[in-house]
Amino acid sequence: MNTNDILILRGEEVITLLKGQELRIVDTVQAAYAAHATGHSSLPHSLFLRFPDDPGNRIIALPAYLNSGFNTAGMKWIASFPANGKSGLDRASAVLIINSATTGRPEAMLGASVISAKRTAASAALAARSLSNENVQHVGLVGCGLINYEVTRFLLAVFPGIRSLAIYDKSPNSAAVFKQKINELFASLDVQVKTHVDEVFASGKLISFATTAGDPWVENLDACLPGSTILHVSLRDLKPEVILGADNVVDDVDHVCRAKTSVHLAEEFVGHRDFIRCTLADVFGNTAPPKQDSSRVTIFSPFGLGVLDLAVGKLVCNLADQQRVGTVIPSFLPDVWHQRSEAA
């Protein structure tokens, strides 16, 4: 491509390129976290566009720069409209723009809802691998949508010995559809639909939350097994008291303590962040302070960093180049101004 061209990758092409790449995506996410932790990134706070007459919906801008072998910049623009499911649409839709870190010129535009879901699931799987000290066989899932579907896929790549899933959703129909989809993809899994979240807590020591909750609703973790790990992907399910009573690991302290996440509410409640033990990069980088009580539940709260979208987007572009996938739009950018004709 010349510098005026741009590569377009449709969502279905992204799905094809990333098929079977779960462990590679996990490694890519780990490398992005490591680069961010060592200062090889620029990561402004996400910008939330909200609608005064429709507060349940939002569009989020996640700009980022990532170096340390990635050398790329860009932004994910992702919409979350929870009511879309009623009309047969996915809750989230997204576009990822990748820019040259040398010239700043846009190089690629990707359908990014799949990238967003997979980097989120890869982050959760990386946390599970880093925080779980045993071979995982039983997993609990709270929320039966795309994100926990991808979390299941990535957890199975990291822990191939998983045998059963305990699932719960406030919508019984969503749970039934989820079970059907899981059985189609992983026929050997024993999928059990539960009628209360406590049944999920009691089913195993690894639990993933991926709901559309806007306000905390889980009051305690009393039903959890000692030493359980909760992947709090949806960020707003657990009441502040639950966060304060647990061992807390996050992806980025400053980012997760905002936007009314459960961690943010806990910070507001006590006026400090001392209840956060460390970041995930501290854990897999072996620089984290030790967990004080092995029987406490560990909660991983990932805000979802734009550097992860960039890293996985860059992987997709590399795979597209190798496999000659995608559409190049020639002369997407205009010629240099002084070389344009008078008519322009």
CB 231 within 8 A of CB 152: no
Residue-wise pLDDT for 1-33, tens only, equals: 788 999 999 999 999 999 999 999 999 999 999
| Domain map (residue ranges) of the chain | 6-115+306-337, 133-301
The confidence band for 133, taking pLDDT boundaries of 50, 70 and 90, is confident
For residue 218, what is the DSSP state? Answer: B
User: In CATH, what class is 6-115+306-337?
Assistant: alpha beta
What burial letters (b/e) apply to 180-201, b meaning 16+ CB within 10 Å?
A: eebeeeeeebebbbbeebbbbb
Residue-wise pLDDT for 100-113, tens only, equals: 999 999 999 999 99
pLDDT higher than 90, residue 338: no
pLDDT higher than 60, residue 98: yes
- On whether the 133-301 domain is CATH 1.10.10.10, my answer is no
Residue-wise pLDDT for 275-311, tens only, equals: 999 999 999 999 999 999 999 999 999 999 999 999 9
pLDDT higher than 70, residue 217: yes
Q: What is the mean pLDDT of the chain?
A: 96
The helix, strand and coil proportions of the chain, stated in percent and rounded to the nearest 5, come to 35, 25, 40
Supply the pLDDT for residue 7. 98
Question: What does the alpha-carbon distance between residue 131 and residue 90 come to, in Å, rounded to a whole number?
Answer: 31
Name the token pair of 108.
């690629």
pLDDT higher than 70, residue 258: yes
CB 303 within 8 A of CB 261: yes
This prediction has a pTM of 0.95
The DSSP line for 57-112 is -EEEEEEEEE-TT--EEEEEEEEE-GGGGGGT--SEEEEEEEEETTT--EEEEEE-
Q: To the nearest whole percent, how much of the chain has pLDDT over 90? A: 92
More confident site: 214 or 311: 311
CB 99 within 8 A of CB 106: yes
Supply the pLDDT for residue 343. 57
